[in-house]
Amino acid sequence: MSDRRIRSVVIVGGGTAGWMTAAALSNALAGLDLRIRLIESAQIDTIGVGEATIPPIMDFIRQLGIAEGDLVRDIKATYKLGIGFRDWTRPGDFYFHPFGPAGPGIADVPFQAYWLKMLLAGKAQRLEAYSIQAAAALRGRFARPVHAPNTPLNKITYALHFDARRFAQYLRGYAEARGVVRSEDHVQYASVRSTDGFVDSLTLESGECLSADLFIDCSGFRGVLIEGALHTGYQDWHHWLPCDRAVIVHSERSMPPDPYTLVTAREAGWQWQIPLQNRDGNGYIYSAEFSSDGAAMERLLDRLAGRALNEPIALRFSPGRRTVAWHKNVVALGLAAGFLEPLEATSIHFIQRGIAMLLKFFPDRDFAAADIARYNKTLETEFCGARDFLLMHYSQTERTDPFWMSCRDIPLPESLREKIELFRSHGRIVREEADTFPVLSWLSVMVGQNIVPRRYDPLVDVLNEQRIQARLEELGTSVRECVEAMPTHAQFIAADTCPQRASGAQCASGRSART
């Protein structure tokens, strides 16, 4: 049998997508004697707006064998326990979307079912009282999970805030140490074979003609291979996701960093504030139909918590996805594969998912059609699920700004309409296997957006109210006590990331790094 193994991979584009891919492939495929080359152009600045992530990023970091504390220190990262939504449902309102689970079920009755029964009866607190992630975030506290069975400390779930450029630079060092070769160059032309439509080679600005078995397109919105060479097409989802502009600026931090992202509804979209160790990241995502670029920039600068550190950057984008992200011998990752918007931090996540699926269906030089079809189908399903989750934030609101009123008229995909109706009928949440967001995410946003069930799940009546009440009181007390015992977010970072922690020496915070 002839050897059909992939021997060479070329990644077009650096940035977060390119270096995440290079790091993951150089680690996972280290035994395959694979040549990995990354082409990165100094002429093209990476967008690098992604500063917030969701919990699966921690799996990516662990799979690479990276020490979490070292990474957090080196890229000035902070921890993220969820997202706070201010003025979103209506002006003056606030709700929190926490990561991780809330309370345990009772017998066969899940937490959300018995909590909703008591909430509808006015006998339960807000969801934030039963989620250690929400309670800790709103108190400015953080800790990693510890082995403490039957307590909320056992399942603390978190992600990171980081500067995407610093993250990419960190991963570049990781990948180059594992044999990835970087070339600073620019793709001028991609040669496509007439016999089968595969990309055969790239002609670089330097004059080099570069061939490979597998090409990975991380060239951003341009999609120089997946679209420029292979013309796969793009599905524009602007009719579902109304924002298509962004203004981004860094600012001084005026207070210790909170362990959550704050998003605030504005007249024509929404504003984010993301705390890093050394600064805040800020952005205004808006619809060009309801705001000019100049007005958006002015409003963002007027609403910063601290002094602006740079000139604002303006971006335009078309929410949607590439019709197929893998075609022939080209796989598109990152913005080349699609972009929804940053509200729920899905951009970096979809890079990670694309890499994971590529490794799951890693090809040989025959590029089996069934593998490619399954890859594309899986990512299409996940993109659609995330689209529905984002659209729910826009369509279920009571705000009276013209932009938000127009959002209430957006026709919902049947998949989202069904989810909302199932929840409104009996508070049921059906999570598909490929859903990016877990049940608690759907629950917190639905309740936060004032989607109220007409009735509770009849299954809950197998439990008497006294038992439910006792469980909720026990859970609420446990959450409060655990949060009270946590260090502040800033204290945790200082203790965990000091260089002396490995020896147990005293860190700048005065606490032993091992305590």
Structural tokens at position 27: 């680690």
Contacts of 487 (CB under 8 A, 6+ apart): 141, 142, 143, 495, 511
Cβ-contact 94, 262 below 8 angstroms: no
Q: Do 57 and 160 form a contact (C-beta atoms < 8 A)?
A: yes
Catalytic residue among 80, 117, 328, 419: 80
Task: List the one residue out of 456, 460, 459 whose CA is nearest residue 468.
Answer: 460
Residue found by looking up tokens 């790094």 in the block: 513
Beta-carbon neighbour count of residue 91 at 10 Å?
Answer: 12
At 236 the three-state DSSP class reads strand
In the 3-class helix/strand/coil scheme, how is 282-314 assigned residue by residue? EEEEECCCCCCHHHHHHHHHHCCCCCECCCCEE
Listed residue (316, 390, 314) closest to 350, CA to CA: 390
CA–CA separation, 442 and 436 (whole Å): 11
Dihedral through CA 468, CA 469, CA 471, CA 472, nearest 10?
110
80 is known as an active-site residue = yes
The answer to whether 4 and 365 have CB atoms below 8 angstroms apart is yes
Q: Is 391 helix (H, G, I), strand (E, B) or coil?
A: helix
- As a whole number of angstroms, the distance between CA 354 and CA 158 comes to 21
DSSP bridge pairs for 89:
none
**Distances in Å between the alpha carbon of 219 and those of 3, 213, 335?**
31, 18, 8
Do 327 and 337 contact (CB within 8 A), yes or no? no
Catalytic residues: 80
